[in-house]
Amino acid sequence: MIKENLQEVEQRILAACQRAGRDPGCVTLVAVSKTKPVEMLQEAYAEGIREFGENKPQEIREKYPSLPKDIHWHMIGHLQRNKIKYIIDKACMIHSVDSSRLAQAIDEEARKHNLVMPVLVEVNMAKEESKFGIMPEEAEDFIREISSLSNIRVEGLMTIAPFTDHPEENRVHFRNLKKLSVDIGAKNIDNVNMRHLSMGMTGDFEVAVEEGATMVRVGTGIFGARDYTV
Ligand SMILES: *Cc1c(COP(=O)(O)O)cnc(C)c1O
């Protein structure tokens, strides 16, 4: 089933790229494997997937030893400062930086490991009270502030759009995130680039790709519905 799901998701990304006149090579599919057992990740790995997304540091720490070392682990969920240590030498990128205290703590932990951690700034485009992320109008100042931290590198923006059965409703949020990234990119802030836009999930990734996503985070569409009761 994972094989067929992956083929379908990849086909839909390709079609969205074609509609938008984008190079499919510029869109990375991050397979969101949270709550799913290692066997399912291995199945996706066998189909060529190397980018996996998890929203809990403990889950990366637990799955990491049983899976091949050429996997890139994306930390996509809200991160508590005391859990950074679980993933600092395992994650290839942290998509969810939304406070200077968190940015500073990642920087400190990265320095201990003598590495530079690529990070994305999470922006709450729809200004939902229930969501993490900084407000769009605060993004530039926030990025300027954390750009002085030498063991993290801001590489773009991320958003989690509202849950909806109508993906078109999220187009405006994706379009605005793209605009924001172009505006901030034009400021040429030292140690900052806007190479990545992490946006789009199972329900809306095609719209996100049409609006310029470079990374889509797809879970349910690949691994099936998640069961939180077990
Ligand atoms: C769970 C999750 C996803 C994937 O959600 P699906 O709707 O299952 O594709 C993407 N991004 C984040 C931050 C998530 O927590």
The sign of the dihedral angle between the CA atoms of 161, 179, 217, 221 is: positive
In this predicted model, what pLDDT tens digit does every residue of 115-151 receive, in sequence order? 999 999 999 999 999 999 999 999 999 999 999 999 9
* Pairing label, strands 117-122, 91-97: parallel
Contacts of 103 (CB under 8 A, 6+ apart): 97, 119, 146, 149, 152
pLDDT of residue 136: 98
Distance CA 135, CA 151 (A): 24
pLDDT of residue 8: 98
Query: Which residues partner with 157 through β-bridges?
Result: 121, 197
Is 50 strand, coil or helix? coil
Distance (Å) from CA 184 to ligand 1 centroid: 26
Ligand 1 atom nearest the C-alpha of 95 is 13
Please state at what angle helix 139-146 crosses helix 171-185, rounded to 10 degrees.
50
In this predicted model, what pLDDT tens digit does every residue of 55-69 receive, in sequence order? 999 999 999 999 999
Q: Whose CA is nearest to atom 11 of ligand 1?
A: 217
Q: By percentage, how much of the chain surpasses pLDDT 90? A: 98
CB contact at 8 A, 176 and 142 = no
Distance (Å) from CA 69 to ligand 1 centroid: 23
> By CB neighbour count within 10 A (0-12 exposed, 13-18 middle, 19+ buried), where does 135 fall?
exposed
Contacts of 14 (CB under 8 A, 6+ apart): 24
Distance CA 211, CA 168 (A): 11
Is 30 strand, coil or helix? strand
Ligand 1 atom nearest the C-alpha of 158 is 13
Pocket test of ligand 1: the residue of 60, 201, 215 to mutate, having most ligand atoms within 8 Å of its CB, is 201
Ligand 1, CB cutoff 6 Å, lining residues? 32, 34, 55, 76-77, 160, 201-203, 217-221
Distance (Å) from CA 183 to ligand 1 centroid: 27
Ligand 1 atom nearest the C-alpha of 32 is 4
The 10 Å Cβ neighbour count of residue 26 is: 13
Q: For all residues of the chain together, what is the average pLDDT?
A: 97
CB contact at 8 A, 30 and 54 = no
Distance (Å) from CA 148 to ligand 1 centroid: 30
Q: Whose CA is nearest to atom 5 of ligand 1?
A: 219
pLDDT tops 70 at residue 230: no
Ligand 1 atom nearest the C-alpha of 55 is 15
Q: By percentage, how much of the chain surpasses pLDDT 70? A: 100
Per-residue tokens: 112 = 């201990």
Q: Which pTM value belongs to this model?
A: 0.97
Enumerate the H helices of the chain as residue ranges: 2-20, 38-46, 57-63, 84-87, 100-112, 139-146, 171-185, 205-210, 220-223
